[in-house]
Amino acid sequence: MFRHNLAYELKEVLRVREFVLWLMLFPIILGTLFKVAFGSIYSSELFDSIPVAVVKTSENAVADELLKALTEGEEPMLAATFTDAENAKQLLLDGDAEGILTIGESMELTVARTGMIPTMLQEIVSRCKLYETVIRDAIATDPASVETVVAKLSAEVNACREVSPAADNPDVYVQYFYNLIAMVAICGNMTGLHVSTNNQANQSQLGARKNCSATPKGIYLTAGLLGSCIAQSVSMVLCVTFLRFVLRVNFGGSLLLLYLAAILSGCLGVAFGFFIGSIGKMRHEGKSAIAITVSMALCFLSGLMMGNIKGILATKAPWVNRFNPVAIISDSFYCLNMYSDYRRFITKIIGILIYITVFTVLGVLFTRRKKYASI
């Protein structure tokens, strides 16, 4: 009996055209767009030599020495173009230079915008001023020590001992793909919603037939939920496979655990839809609109549209990240990438399992023992 119901449930899921569209085409289209849009943004944000235009109006030994130190080596701080004032201005306005270093009696800086790179250039130019101040102090205190002081000022020190966490892939833009998978998972609510609708006599003709059949409600409800979870798991596996192997998105961490998290997330989506579908007497279309809108709101709060929202919420309202099911799903992928131990990943998986249980139990509680005197 159960196997019969399960087989028909699977057939029915595949007949829902939008299921195929939503859950299979959607990540393919959006994943491709995401890859095209920010596949290479992260690498462009990493530190690289800063292009500057250098205009020399007179000799300045300190500035020359400083500039030499900053433009030489394997990874120099600056990529200098020596030119005249007019051309330097053009380079700056065209965006080919981040700033103009004018070397005269002192070193001056001209920039076209504010931001971290111009701030770094100001730090570099200020260093010239620092040299002058310290050398002046040295001459006033002990002129014989000037050489030692200059050597100390320009000595190469490695003052920072790195104890940074080891991320498999620190690319912050990969979180958009985490959120895309989370969105596909939560959109599994559409199949869960169908299970709920197809089991209520006042919601669908199929529900009416099922309710007056001899099959116990527990059997066809369990078969329905299991069938939806199987179908949703297939779409989650396809989604992760497409993103990982076709678009070559580096998710970091264990791929096997990523698949496991994705499959469980899909089941969460199904349970969420089942729960929404079980509440009240609203028609399927209305419940569907609520499920999609709530899902999109949760996706927004998880960072699908605004990548840094999770960071903002972590400081302003951390409970949102803790309770938002979509954020928990995307966090499980993030934890696999960022943490070599599985402590946090397991916490997130437990969170997903709790949500699956709570939504399913509530859904069952809302649908059980319903009597239909007139439909």
Partner 1 sequence: MQVFKAFLKVLRSKFGAAIIYIALFFLVGILMTKSGTDESVWEKSKMKLVIEDLDDTPESRALTEFISKDNTIIPAFANEDDLTDAMYYTTVDYAVTIPKGFSERLAAGETEGIFECRHIHESYAQVNIQMQLEKYINTVAAYQALGKSTQEASQAAVAALSKEANVELLQKENETKGENSELLTFFRYMPYILLSVIMNTLSPAMIAMNRKDFRYRTDCSGISPHSYTMQIFGASALYVGGIWAVFTLAGGIINGTMYTGRLWLAVLNALLFALFSAVLAIFVSEFSPSDNVVSILTQVATLGMCFLCGVFISQSLLGSGVLSAAKFLPAYWYIRVISMLNGELAFDAGEVALALGIEAGFIAVFVLLAVLVRRSRVTSAVARKAMA
For residues 237 and 223, what is the distance between their CA atoms, to the nearest angstrom?
21
**Least Å distance between CB 51 and partner 1?**
13
Beta-sheet pairing, 78-82 with 99-103: unpaired
**Least Å distance between CB 44 and partner 1?**
7
SS3 104: coil
**Least Å distance between CB 215 and partner 1?**
28
CA-based nearest residue to 200, from 189, 209, 191, 192: 209
**Least Å distance between CB 152 and partner 1?**
4
**Residue 337 or residue 367: which is nearer to partner 1 going by CB?**
337
* 73, 84 Cβ separation under 8 angstroms: no
**Residue 234 or residue 296: which is nearer to partner 1 going by CB?**
296
**Least Å distance between CB 87 and partner 1?**
14
CA-based nearest residue to 234, from 204, 270, 210, 203: 270
DSSP state of 373: S
**Residue 73 or residue 218: which is nearer to partner 1 going by CB?**
73
Q: At what angle do helices 189-197 and 255-278 cross, to 10 degrees?
A: 40
What is the gyration radius of the CA atoms in the chain, in angstroms?
31
**Residue 8 or residue 300: which is nearer to partner 1 going by CB?**
300
**Residue 222 or residue 288: which is nearer to partner 1 going by CB?**
288
**Residue 102 or residue 265: which is nearer to partner 1 going by CB?**
102
24, 79, 164, 315 from 270: Cα distances, Å: 15, 55, 39, 31
For residues 155 and 150, what is the distance between their CA atoms, to the nearest angstrom?
8
* 201, 47 Cβ separation under 8 angstroms: no
Give kind and range of the element (H or E) at residue 342.
none
**Residue 149 or residue 219: which is nearer to partner 1 going by CB?**
149
**Least Å distance between CB 162 and partner 1?**
6
**Least Å distance between CB 266 and partner 1?**
17
